[in-house]
């Protein structure tokens, strides 16, 4: 096979050039020559050795050096790969040992082959599932198992996030690893609020899912005095309970001292808009998390009464809003607080990430004081 011989320091430059021009032979590695130069493998479309493009560098005939595949597509049959070059999945998501991938209709017949190739390339993956879209009231994903390393097709698995472990189940409960930064920011806000109040906090997380936000908060010694957590999806509550039990057991106090007892430590399967009817929840928390992005703002009048009165409290929420409606939505949040008897001390309404051309995923954080 023809190879381009270049000084070692120019290897990256020539690799990029050959890749861009599509002259690079795929699945073949760069060889180090006895004189220290590097030999880059070329395919048949690369120009002949006397072409000016090589700038005087020599072309050699060498035996091809096979390269360990670095991408799952390298495990596909080359003819199959070339026949659908632009239709293979470009991205996938993993939750624990479960890989979730969207597969285009045009390559659906090769879905199991894709899954096998992914299992071969990614040793930490146990199960590869096709993502058939969200369904049902709780907007969970419809997953079709395509290939399993050990024959098990259970989608319940465990993820590590910011140093704590969480049980998740992508076919039954919403969870997004992409929002882990939001959990870190929630922790930072909680620390500021705790410093301001001079004590541990009671948190309400009524749309908790499997409890990733509680994970971040409970991981911090003595930041949390107690919590009310819940979800309307019974499958979420089952995992939430398991996660909160584990997180509570792992909790540490300051400087290795035993952690303080958590009181309250409520977990419920209940519509968040009904929590305010329960005396135990009403005016009980310092920090309120509202994560129901399609309905967060509409739910505010029903969940703001969970915040304590006559002290500083914080609301953190997430909402999907139309780009041209951001001003109106900001006003809806502010109005909900005013109507609940609140005075706003600080207000932030920021985009988390681009959602689509017309919609954006927003985070709001409001420091306030509700009067009696």
Residue 232 touches ligand SAM, criterion: CB under 6 A: yes
Cβ distance to ligand SAM smaller for residue 41 or 170: 170
Cβ distance to ligand SAM smaller for residue 41 or 206: 206
Total interface residues for ligand SAM by CB under 6 A:
20
Residue 349 touches ligand SAM, criterion: CB under 6 A: no
Residue 208 CA to residue 219 CA, distance in Å, equals: 16
Of 172-191, binders to ligand SAM (CB under 6 A) are: 174-175, 179
Residue 293 touches ligand SAM, criterion: CB under 6 A: yes
CB-facing half-sphere around the CA of 215: CA atoms within 13 A: 28
Residue 336 touches ligand SAM, criterion: CB under 6 A: no
Residue 209 touches ligand SAM, criterion: CB under 6 A: yes
Cβ distance to ligand SAM smaller for residue 102 or 178: 178
Residue 362 touches ligand SAM, criterion: CB under 6 A: no
Residue 267 touches ligand SAM, criterion: CB under 6 A: no
**DSSP letter string over 210-238?**
T-HHHHHHHTSTTTEEEEEEEES-HHHHH
Of 131-150, binders to ligand SAM (CB under 6 A) are: 138
Cβ distance to ligand SAM smaller for residue 169 or 231: 231
Residue 239 touches ligand SAM, criterion: CB under 6 A: no
**Which residue number places its CB atom closest to ligand SAM?**
209
Residue 63 CA to residue 216 CA, distance in Å, equals: 54
CB neighbour class for 317 (10 Å; exposed up to 12, middle 13-18, buried from 19): buried
Question: Which residues, 6+ apart, have CB-to-CB distance to 24 below 8 Å?
Answer: 15, 18, 40, 41, 42, 43
CB-facing half-sphere around the CA of 288: CA atoms within 13 A: 32
Contact of 167 with 209, CB cutoff 8 Å: no
CB-facing half-sphere around the CA of 89: CA atoms within 13 A: 24
Residue 174 CA to residue 195 CA, distance in Å, equals: 32
Residue 289 CA to residue 193 CA, distance in Å, equals: 14
Question: Which residues, 6+ apart, have CB-to-CB distance to 326 below 8 Å?
Answer: 349, 360, 362
Binding mask 155-174 for ligand SAM (x = CB under 6 A): -------------------x
Q: Determine which residue in the list 161, 231, 238, 329 makes contact with ligand SAM, applying CB under 6 A.
A: 231
Residue 73 touches ligand SAM, criterion: CB under 6 A: no
- Residue 156 is classified by DSSP as -
Q: Determine which residue in the list 95, 291, 296, 313 makes contact with ligand SAM, applying CB under 6 A.
A: 291
Q: Determine which residue in the list 46, 118, 130, 272 makes contact with ligand SAM, applying CB under 6 A.
A: 272
Residues that bind ligand SAM (CB under 6 A): 138, 174-175, 179, 206-209, 212-213, 231-233, 236, 271-273, 291-293
């Amino acid at each position: 096979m023809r190879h381009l011989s270049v000084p070692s320091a120019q290897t990256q430059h020539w690799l990029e050039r050959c890749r861009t021009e599509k002259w690079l032979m795929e699945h073949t590695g760069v060889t180090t020559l006895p004189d220290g130069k590097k030999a880059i493998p070329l395919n048949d479309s690369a120009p002949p050795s006397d072409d000016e493009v090589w700038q005087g560098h020599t072309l050699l005939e060498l035996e091809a050096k096979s390269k360990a595949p670095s991408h799952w597509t390298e495990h596909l049959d080359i003819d199959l790969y070339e026949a659908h070059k632009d239709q293979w999945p470009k991205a996938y998501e993993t939750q624990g040992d479960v890989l979730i991938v969207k597969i285009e209709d045009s390559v659906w017949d090769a879905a199991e082959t894709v899954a096998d190739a992914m299992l071969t390339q990614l040793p930490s993956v146990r199960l590869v599932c096709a993502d058939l879209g969200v369904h049902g009231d709780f907007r969970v994903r419809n997953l079709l198992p395509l290939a399993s390393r050990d024959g098990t097709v259970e989608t319940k698995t465990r993820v590590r996030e910011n140093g704590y472990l969480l049980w998740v189940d992508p076919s039954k409960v919403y969870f997004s690893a992409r929002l882990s930064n939001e959990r870190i920011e929630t922790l930072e806000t909680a620390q500021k609020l705790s410093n301001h109040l001079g004590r541990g906090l009671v948190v309400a997380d009524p749309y908790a899912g499997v409890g990733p936000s509680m994970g971040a908060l409970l991981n911090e010694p003595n930041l949390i005095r107690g919590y009310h957590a819940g979800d309307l999806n019974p499958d979420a509550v089952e995992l939430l309970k398991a996660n909160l039990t584990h997180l509570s057991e792992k909790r540490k106090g300051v400087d290795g001292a035993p952690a303080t007892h958590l009181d309250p430590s409520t977990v419920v399967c209940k519509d968040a808009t009904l929590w305010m009817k329960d005396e135990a929840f009403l005016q009980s928390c310092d920090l309120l998390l509202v994560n129901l992005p399609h309905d967060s703002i509409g739910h505010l009048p029903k969940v703001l009464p969970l915040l304590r009165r006559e002290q500083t409290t914080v609301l953190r929420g997430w909402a999907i809003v139309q780009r041209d409606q951001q001003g109106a939505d900001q006003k809806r949040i502010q109005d909900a607080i005013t109507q609940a008897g609140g005075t706003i001390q600080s207000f932030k309404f920021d985009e988390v990430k681009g959602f689509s051309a017309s919609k954006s995923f927003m985070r709001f954080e409001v420091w306030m004081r509700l009067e009696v």
